[in-house]
Amino acid sequence: MWYIRAMASPLIVQVRRVRAHPEPLPLPRYETELAAGLDLRADIDGERVLRPLERMAVPTGLALGLPPGYEGQVRPRSGLALRHGVTLLNAPGTVDADYRGEVQVILVNLSSEPFTLRRGDRVAQLVVAPVTSVGLSEVEVLDATARGGNGFGSTGR
């Protein structure tokens, strides 16, 4: 069964271009009807080369005004990772609701070949998601579970 994206009252996120350009890039958008992420683009002039094992903060040219109770998750694009070995170093990156600076994407080239980045290339996805605030309660003993402290593959292959 297919579901259609609810368009009745979408969450509104403010977007500000941080620098003027004679040919502004399109604002992030969903590339398909059911896409979870909005594509972020490289707001660079000319080309930049990302050498093997090199990392780079790539500007998007955008600042966000996320509403309280939400975050922006900056996630890798699967095609960049599969075809070029280029991914995000801190995936997912977090854009907090109170951050108003430019969103940048920390790319890393894990391949053995240089990767050329051009203006407007889609470099990451932005997923806007609700955040739960919690209070911490320090205890001497945690509630017991069947799993206990077993981790790192303990539930099987």
Domains of the chain: 14-130 (2.70.40.10)
Distance between CA 65 and CA 99 in Å, rounded? 8
What's the predicted TM-score (pTM) here? 0.87
Residue 64 structure tokens: 């966000």
**Residue 43 known to bind ligand:** no
Smallest CA-to-CA distance from 45 within 96, 117, 99 is with 117
**Residue 94 known to bind ligand:** yes
**Residue 79 known to bind ligand:** yes
pLDDT tens for the chain, 157 residues long, are 444 455 557 899 999 999 999 999 999 999 999 999 999 999 999 999 999 999 999 999 999 999 999 999 999 999 999 999 999 999 999 999 999 999 999 999 999 999 999 999 999 999 999 999 999 999 999 999 988 888 887 777 7
**Residue 77 known to bind ligand:** yes
